[in-house]
């Protein structure tokens, strides 16, 4: 995980502590021009920004970044001041990922969890962007259901829930997925759950049991079954897996025809 920050000096120590806790890389920017350049150079980074970092209201500049890079997870970390509140009000419609107030809600564990969640959000957006060509071939209701599955896998108990969410009969759903080049519902469900789990695995403070709970698994054993099915590795072995390798493997799992795999090999794995 890479975090790009633009913060005044008093706010940096807490961020630095949280980054050490989760083992993330950090680029500390000293000017807004550096921030804008870093976003273009590292579009997959998590941005931690204070709209008042240089005593200039940067809310409109942050909004411009969110308009140009809507997938970029931006965390606003700022002091509780009238100017900051006005900036947060301006940014609210642009999809700011989270707002953290200095010395009020910036505990070290909470900050670390939010950074991990923001990175997971980035992984999900990248996954959906890569699946966009296939999803365009699906009926709109089914495409929306697949999108929702990857964004909120905890709301699904199995791949079969796609039938209910999309209101598509089972046979039609299976045929539509296959014609679009996508795996059956069970494999999509596993991919969505594992994608979220890997985001939490990047935080060393989480045990495998806690990761399983955060990703919606009722039993850590099932998480292990799923990671073995997709990656051939146990959850603990995936803590240092890069985002690119994670996505490449999961995309192959969700595009069985392109990857040259069969879709029946995972039938022995439970849906949840």
In a domain, 270, yes or no: no
Residue corresponding to tokens 């999509």: 188
Same domain as 85, residue 22: yes
Find the CATH number of the domain harbouring 46.
Answer: 3.40.50.2300
Confidence of residue 204 (pLDDT cuts 50, 70, 90): confident
Residue corresponding to tokens 């989480």: 206
CA distances to 55, 141, 157, 208 from 176, rounded to whole Å, are: 54, 11, 21, 35
Same domain as 169, residue 138: yes
Q: Looking at residue 67, what is its pLDDT? A: 84
Q: Looking at residue 202, what is its pLDDT? A: 76
Structure letter (DSSP) for residue 32? H
In a domain, 50, yes or no: yes
Q: Pick the closest to residue 130 from 191, 60, 80 (CA basis).
A: 191
Domain span holding position 73? 2-106
Strand order in the sheet with 46-49: 25-28, 2-6, 46-49, 74-78, 98-101
Phi, psi (deg, nearest 5) at residue 48: -115, 110
Tens-place pLDDT, residues 90-119: 888 877 878 899 988 888 888 888 887 787
What total number of domains does the chain contain? Answer: 2
Same domain as 132, residue 95: no
Instruction: Please state, in angstroms and rounded to a whole number, the distance separating the CA atoms of residues 117 and 203.
Output: 10
Same domain as 161, residue 88: no
Tens-place pLDDT, residues 221-253: 999 999 999 999 999 999 888 888 999 999 999
Same domain as 197, residue 149: yes
Tens-place pLDDT, residues 118-168: 877 778 888 998 999 999 999 999 999 998 899 888 888 898 999 999 999
Q: Looking at residue 260, what is its pLDDT? A: 56
Confidence of residue 258 (pLDDT cuts 50, 70, 90): low
Same domain as 127, residue 236: yes
Give the other-Cβ count within 10 Å of 136's Cβ: 10
Q: Looking at residue 261, what is its pLDDT? A: 54
Residue corresponding to tokens 């050490």: 20
**Higher pLDDT among residues 260 and 262, named by residue:** 260
Q: Pick the closest to residue 77 from 110, 119, 36, 120 (CA basis).
A: 110
Q: Pick the closest to residue 134 from 251, 263, 267, 265 (CA basis).
A: 251
Same domain as 51, residue 24: yes
Same domain as 245, residue 146: yes
In a domain, 112, yes or no: no
In a domain, 267, yes or no: no
Same domain as 87, residue 147: no
Of the listed ranges 21-30, 58-67, 128-137, 196-205, the least confidently predicted one is 196-205
CA distances to 12, 15, 125 from 77, rounded to whole Å, are: 10, 9, 22
Provide the total of helices (H) and of strands (E) in the chain, helices listed first: 13, 5
Q: What does the longest C-alpha to C-alpha distance in the chain come to?
A: 60
């Amino acid at each position: 995980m890479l975090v790009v920050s633009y913060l005044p000096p008093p706010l940096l120590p807490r961020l630095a502590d949280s980054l050490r806790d989760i083992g993330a890389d950090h680029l500390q920017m000293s000017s807004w021009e550096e921030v804008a350049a870093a976003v273009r150079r590292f579009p997959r980074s998590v941005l931690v920004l204070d709209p008042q970092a240089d005593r200039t209201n940067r809310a409109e500049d942050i909004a411009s970044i969110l308009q140009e890079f809507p997938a970029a997870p931006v965390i606003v970390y700022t002091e509780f001041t009238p100017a900051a509140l006005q900036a947060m009000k301006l940014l609210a419609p642009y999809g700011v990922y989270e707002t953290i107030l200095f010395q009020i809600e910036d505990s070290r564990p909470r900050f670390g969890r939010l950074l991990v969640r923001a990175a997971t959000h980035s992984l999900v957006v990248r996954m959906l962007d890569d699946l966009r060509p296939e999803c365009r071939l699906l009926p709109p209701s089914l495409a929306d259901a697949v999108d929702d599955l990857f964004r909120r896998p905890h709301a699904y108990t199995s791949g079969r829930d796609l039938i209910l969410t999309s209101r598509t009969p089972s046979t039609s759903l299976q045929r539509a997925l296959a014609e679009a080049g996508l795996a059956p519902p069970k494999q999509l469900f596993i991919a969505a759950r594992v994608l979220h789990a890997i985001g939490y695995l990047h935080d060393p403070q989480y045990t495998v049991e806690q990761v399983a709970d955060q990703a919606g698994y009722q039993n850590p054993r099932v998480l292990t079954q799923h990671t073995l099915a997709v990656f051939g590795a146990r959850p603990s072995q995936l803590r240092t897996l890069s985002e690119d390798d994670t996505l490449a493997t999961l995309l192959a799992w969700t595009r069985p025809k392109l990857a040259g795999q069969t879709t029946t090999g995972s039938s022995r794995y439970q849906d949840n």
